[in-house]
Structure 1
Amino acid sequence: MMNTLLKNLLICAGLLLTLAAQGQDLKNNPRLQERLLQVKLREIQKTLMLSDDKMKALTPIYKRYDNEITTIHKNRQVKGQGTNINNLTSEEADKLVVQQLDNAVKMSTVRKNYYSEFKTVLTPQQVMAMFRAEAQIRRRVMMEMRRRLENRTK
């Protein structure tokens, strides 16, 4: 199971690197967006050990949820991406901090709004495990992307 998780995470990281290298965003590349979503769904199914029937019920809910979360992430990346904090004025830094805090509230609100929908398919414990798995996938993908980008610049 761990080898499959690692394999899927590497695939996801590769897809994200391809995306970054091509200067595209997920919104302009629906095929890539769908592939990333499928990787996430497979990992969630394996992590939570969900039956195919449960997965069929969860998938449309998760797709809507993921679309909202992805939109928030994309907005966050564009606004503060590549910003050297030492070169910011106090006003610019203040604006970025407020935007980051607003995005954190938006993320929390989306999760809270979808929690009741997720509970129609999953137990509260499974919802917690899904959120944890999702965070773990994001962390691993980001670590892999950083590693690959560092290797590319050497």
Structure 2
Amino acid sequence: MKQKMVMWLTAFVLLAGSLSAQETKNDARTERKRPDFAAMQLKQVLDALMFDDATAAKFTPVYQAYQKEMRECRLPRLKKKSNEMTDEEIAQEIERQFTQGRKVIDVKEKYYKEFKKILTMKQIREVYRLERFNMRRMGKEINRRQGMKPHPMPGMPFGKEMQKK
């Protein structure tokens, strides 16, 4: 009986160790996804615009720098839910959003000037169109994974209310 107990305890310890190792593996895999997404975006742009090798060689480092600066402009997630925030915290958050918006515009203007040196206007428009497409697609995927449904605009009928009219 004692021998069976020791055997079960040993099996449990070994199993628990392998489970914790799997958890760390998932964290490392999550860390690798962001560069993969950036590389996927770059490949998508290069494929869509069908650059020759020389143009692709000039465009790639500029676009990667653009992606990096745009990522740095993102706001960190809120620590509190908006209904738990004080008026002062809400005001600070709104001002932070204004500052972040200015940073995004500055980065876009800076790289627009860089893109103009390499690309035609139609190609630049396509770069921005693909960027918007990817952001929308990513937002929809995040909402799908979180089980979120589309939210109506304030004051607008939605769902069953809309069907009644």
TM-score, L = length of structure 1: 0.69
Structure 2 portions without partners, runs of 5+? 1-25, 149-165
Aligned partner of residue 83 in structure 2, secondary structure: helix
Secondary structure, in 3 states, of the residue corresponding to 1:119? Answer: helix
Name the CA distance, whole Å, in 2 between partners of 1:97 and 1:43: 34
Deviation (angstroms), 1:23: 9.6
Residue identity opposite 1:128 in structure 2: R
Partners of 2:60 and 2:81 in 1: how far apart? Answer: 39
Structure 2 residue 96 is the aligned partner of structure 1 residue 95: no
Q: Secondary structure at the match of 1:111?
A: helix
The alignment yields a C-alpha RMSD, in angstroms, of 2.4
Q: What's 1:111 paired with?
A: 108
Q: Identify if the C-alpha distance between structure 1 residues 149 and 23 changes in structure 2 by more than 3 Å, giving closer, same or farther.
A: farther
Percent identity of paired positions between Structure 1 and Structure 2:
26
Q: Deviation per CA, 1:12-64, whole angstroms, max 9, x where unpaired?
A: xxxxxxxxx84998xxx4x4333122100111123333334322211100111
What count of residue pairs does the alignment treat as equivalent? 123
1:50-89 equivalence runs, <5 A: 50-73=51-74, 76-78=75-77, 80=78, 83-89=80-86
* Match of residue 49 from structure 2: 48
> Residue 118 of structure 2: SS of its match in structure 1?
coil
Q: Deviations over 1:42-91 (max 9, x none)?
A: 11123333334322211100111111111111xx033x3x6422221111
Structure-to-structure mapping, 1:103-142, within 5 angstroms:
103-142=100-139
Uncovered stretches (5+) of structure 1, i.e. residues with no partner: 1-20
Q: 1:147: Cα distance to partner?
A: 0.5
Secondary structure, aligned partner of 1:77 = coil
Q: Could you say which structure has the larger radius of gyration?
A: 2
